[in-house]
A and B are shown apart, each in its own frame.
Chain A
Amino acid sequence: MVEIDFNGLKLKNPVLAASGTFGYGIEYSDFVNLNDLGGFIVKGTTIDNREGNDYPRMTETASGMLNAVGLQNKGIDYFIENIYPKIKDYKTNILVNVSGSQIEDYVKVAEKVNELKAIPGIELNISCPNVKEGGMAFGTNCESAANVVKAVRKVYKKHLMVKLSPNVTDITTIAKVVEYEGANSVSLVNTFMGMAIDVKTRKPKLSTITGGLSGPAIKPIAVCLVWKVSNAVKIPVCGLGGIMSANDAIEFLLAGASAIQVGTANFINPKITTEIIEGIDNYCKINSIQKINEFRML
């Protein structure tokens, strides 16, 4: 299998599980040997406990789903005391998805995660479309994206991956800003803002009216954005958005990503991450690929 030096992060394969779709890994441990993964990214974690948005928070759409979970989590201290001890011994890269409403919150969470030995990196979530304050607001404006990355970079010493929002006019300018401020890599995409209305009741299907679209419906747009960003920055790109199979994952690698994440697909097939790893492995054998940068679009 192709091992990857993802700007300092050693990945045994390019497959990670995406934040918010894989719980804390443990939820999938009956289906996947977590040690087989390139890594997994735990749920969006904030400084304080958050209850998230009201139900209904999810609706199915054509080849995808809209969610408006709104970063429900028990806060970083709870994570450190109760979850971290249960997952720290897995032999894979566990990243914490750091989320917040203000720069100070991101910084505080990043400082605390910096102390956790078994966490080699964070994924800075400046792209959540489902919170009223902060979240995506940071990732849709160059200045605020720069400010939050700069502030976190000061306190966070390990791998800093920044998760970009696709809900912008030009994602490459944000990617460049984030690179300039010291990010070690970028991941894209987070969900696309979307909405759905029940025509019988004439009410929105989500309590928050709008939500984030994920799943195969977004894949061609995500591939395109990954291609654009990987041509615009030098730091490695972790690609995601609608990956349902090994071929989908390979498409992202060919578009320029050095690693990929699997999100919504975990809900349909809880073993999908392992199956994608096997599929990529086969593809590499058939095509005599030994290094990740040998994945090239012709």
Chain B
Amino acid sequence: MRQNIHFVTKYINNFKIAQNIKLNSEYFILELLCPEKLSEILPGQFVEVLVENSSNTFLRRPISIFDVNYENNSLKLLIKIIGDGTKKLSELSINSKLNLIYPLGNSYSLPNCKDVLLIGGGCGIAPLFYTAKFFKNYNVNFTLLLGFREKSQVILQKEFSELGKIFYTTDDGGFGERGNVLQHSILKNNNFEKIYSCGPEIMMKNIAIWAKNKNIDCEVSLENLMACGLGACLCCVQKTKSGNKCVCTEGPVFNVNDLLW
């Protein structure tokens, strides 16, 4: 899609918390209202969130854009509590302000083939929700495959099922098929032409290897540690076939053929 990130304007704004929805003990969703007209957001892009009043959180936190509503200029973020920064975000009250830099990063590319598969694991399902919605608008025929550790971890089942065909795996088989995402039967019974993935690195690496073996084009979204999010500090680099690339501007989405996996 987009080639050069520097031509896309980035904004910094105080968003207002419209909702803070606790999904379970780990996950929550923030709905954020932009005080201005929201700029165009592509699937796979992220924001840099300023966490205030957390003495252990100095840098901003990169979080994927989970959903976009241009009608009321709102964004949703799906966040997993990992440490102090995300814990503080989970405690934000309605109407309080959250400072964001957005939209950041490249995006998943629009497929030029028929059957595509979106594979998400854990909090990697976050960018796939908006990606699926975006693809739907472009009449892309997609299937979703989401992996969770166990049934109690499965979140947003209703919201995802409204988007289209969806399948699940859990480690113990308590929900959907048993095993990891690559063991799901839809991979054996279908000929997907393109895979889009986000999740734990080990999951994405295995998917990349599998896809390469089958000659299926595959894009993954990386979560390297970031400082600036703007391509200035070079802290977030990923080794690729053409040297170090910034995950924050030249990613987070990479075609696995460019990676050294």
A residues neighboring B (CB under 8 Å): 20-23, 26-28, 30-31, 43, 51-52, 54-65, 67, 69, 72, 215, 264, 266-271
Whether A27 and B227, one on each chain, are in contact in the complex, defined by CB atoms closer than 8 angstroms, is no
Whether B235 and A28, one on each chain, are in contact in the complex, defined by CB atoms closer than 8 angstroms, is no
State A57–B247 Cα separation when bound (angstroms).
Answer: 13
Whether B225 and A58, one on each chain, are in contact in the complex, defined by CB atoms closer than 8 angstroms, is yes
Q: Does more than half of chain A's interface fall in helix, strand or loop, or is it mixed?
A: loop
Instruction: Report, as a range, how many residues of chain B touch the other chain.
Output: 20 to 34
User: At the interface with chain A, which of B55-63, B107-115, B153-161, B178-186?
Assistant: B55-63
Whether B235 and A69, one on each chain, are in contact in the complex, defined by CB atoms closer than 8 angstroms, is yes
Whether A28 and B232, one on each chain, are in contact in the complex, defined by CB atoms closer than 8 angstroms, is yes
State A27–B6 Cα separation when bound (angstroms).
Answer: 7
Q: Is B106 an interface residue (CB 8 A)?
A: no
A94 CB to closest chain B CB (Å) equals 15
User: At the interface with chain A, which of B8-16, B18-26, B188-196, B202-210?
Assistant: B8-16
Given contacts A31-B10, A266-B228, A270-B12, contact A20 B101 (CB under 8 A): no
For residue A271, which residues in chain B have a CB less than 8 angstroms away from its CB? 12
Whether A23 and B243, one on each chain, are in contact in the complex, defined by CB atoms closer than 8 angstroms, is no
State A59–B233 Cα separation when bound (angstroms).
Answer: 13
Q: Is B230 an interface residue (CB 8 A)?
A: yes
Whether A215 and B58, one on each chain, are in contact in the complex, defined by CB atoms closer than 8 angstroms, is yes
Whether B228 and A63, one on each chain, are in contact in the complex, defined by CB atoms closer than 8 angstroms, is no
State A51–B260 Cα separation when bound (angstroms).
Answer: 15
State A62–B56 Cα separation when bound (angstroms).
Answer: 6
Whether A65 and B244, one on each chain, are in contact in the complex, defined by CB atoms closer than 8 angstroms, is no
B96 CB to closest chain A CB (Å) equals 18
Produce 1/0 per residue, B132-175, CB < 8 A to A. 00000000000000000000000000000000000000000000
State A291–B238 Cα separation when bound (angstroms).
Answer: 47
Given contacts A52-B234, A55-B237, A266-B228, contact A64 B9 (CB under 8 A): no
Whether A51 and B233, one on each chain, are in contact in the complex, defined by CB atoms closer than 8 angstroms, is no
Produce 1/0 per residue, B55-87, CB < 8 A to A. 111111000000000000000000000000000
Whether A72 and B59, one on each chain, are in contact in the complex, defined by CB atoms closer than 8 angstroms, is no
Q: A72-B237, A268-B58 provided; 11 other pairs, C-beta below 8 A?
A: A23-B231, A27-B230, A54-B239, A55-B237, A57-B235, A63-B58, A67-B235, A69-B234, A267-B233, A268-B50, A270-B228
For residue A54, which residues in chain B have a CB less than 8 angstroms away from its CB? 239
Q: Is B224 an interface residue (CB 8 A)?
A: yes
Given contacts A55-B238, A57-B235, A69-B234, contact A267 B224 (CB under 8 A): no
B residues neighboring A (CB under 8 Å): 6, 9-12, 50, 55-60, 101, 224-239, 243-244
> Which chain B residue has the least Cβ–Cβ distance from A50?
B244
Given contacts A31-B12, A268-B58, A268-B60, contact A67 B233 (CB under 8 A): yes
Whether A72 and B244, one on each chain, are in contact in the complex, defined by CB atoms closer than 8 angstroms, is yes
> Which chain A residue has the least Cβ–Cβ distance from B235?
A58
State A65–B235 Cα separation when bound (angstroms).
Answer: 11
For residue B234, which residues in chain A have a CB less than 8 angstroms away from its CB? 20, 43, 52, 57, 69, 72
State A65–B57 Cα separation when bound (angstroms).
Answer: 11
State A55–B230 Cα separation when bound (angstroms).
Answer: 17
- For the complex of A and B, the 6 pairs showing the least CB-CB separation, nearest first, are A23-B232, A58-B235, A27-B232, A267-B228, A30-B10, A27-B230
Q: Which residue, of A22, A30, A56, A65, has the highest number of chain B Cβ atoms within 10 A?
A: A30
Whether B59 and A30, one on each chain, are in contact in the complex, defined by CB atoms closer than 8 angstroms, is no
A199 CB to closest chain B CB (Å) equals 14
B193 CB to closest chain A CB (Å) equals 31
B89 CB to closest chain A CB (Å) equals 16
State A61–B56 Cα separation when bound (angstroms).
Answer: 8
B88 CB to closest chain A CB (Å) equals 14
For residue B243, which residues in chain A have a CB less than 8 angstroms away from its CB? 51
Whether A58 and B233, one on each chain, are in contact in the complex, defined by CB atoms closer than 8 angstroms, is yes
For residue A27, which residues in chain B have a CB less than 8 angstroms away from its CB? 6, 228, 230-232
29 of the cross-chain contacts (CB-CB < 8 Å) are: A20-B233, A21-B232, A22-B232, A23-B231, A27-B231, A28-B232, A30-B9, A30-B10, A31-B10, A51-B243, A52-B237, A55-B236, A55-B237, A56-B225, A57-B237, A58-B225, A58-B236, A62-B56, A64-B58, A67-B235, A72-B244, A215-B58, A266-B232, A267-B60, A267-B233, A268-B58, A268-B60, A270-B228, A271-B12
